Structure 1
């Protein structure tokens, strides 16, 4: 249809008695027409695509938590979960914070968030609980945090919710990063809180990173 339309324009430019353009002007007319039509088609394509907002990126299911990425672009659904799954089978290590040496529960959670969104979480499970927003268990979305009382402490263990009643975590010495069901009696009876990273945390991190980049230093 595009070429038919342009051909008609070219024909009108060359045969219309009222047209004062010369033959040399026809290519420029066609070029301008092509540009105009292509631009219109591009705009139409944008408006025809599903409209995404920050709310879509953070509330939709499956979705990332209520955050925006550190570079101020929308987080893609499942970014956090995708990063977490890459670390399946990494061995547990008390105090561990890397895939090379192993993870403990909070080290795993922090490493996943660091990779997907930048440094927005503190180090320990209790600190991560204090730094995030409490939500109802029924409000859990992929990427949210789930906390358990496994050592006589309300926030002694943490994992990342994956959706469909499952979470991924670094469980204990001798085990590896794995996926489990929240409904299993052991975890269900020890579940203490569902929590979510807030937009302000990531926005603050993004601002700090940009300021550091502007100063010529690397944000840690």
Structure 2
């Protein structure tokens, strides 16, 4: 019943205590079948509850505020929201939405067809829903180089006008004799022979590239 009161009155969830307290107040005054169609209130106090005292939860009300006023120029009543019944005094709890004050009064005029929080939700604009863009612009055209790269100048490559002399490499007949190395595994006794390819660059550096050749055993100096 408490959830029904919140949904019907359109009150925020922060008023769930008032809603469930009012629900318990109403249930205690409703006749129950297992009590012989007698309400718990009547069973306890031996008198029929006053149903004319019950009002619609969350409706607009106008309590008599003269006892709360500090001077005579203050208004005698303000539009409030009915949020339940008081447990200590026989009166109605009225919430002033503007000042967030709760007044307890017995002299209250009710407008049970108007719900202030329902009207506030209808007047408030719906929340804006942000949707992702359908097309994303590429970021590469907008990228800029750092300042350190903007002052660099590319230098053209110049050919080497004075190449270093080429050093003659010894031929295969001038190399020292080779000796065989024993291999640990019998099936690896014969490996490929290394074919020597001599390459030499314009910078004067010489490289010796060894390429295996099938059919010649592995030799080392």
Same fold per superposition (TM over 0.5): no
TM-score (norm 1): 0.24
Report the structure, 1 or 2, having the larger helix content: 1
Report the structure, 1 or 2, having the larger strand content: 2
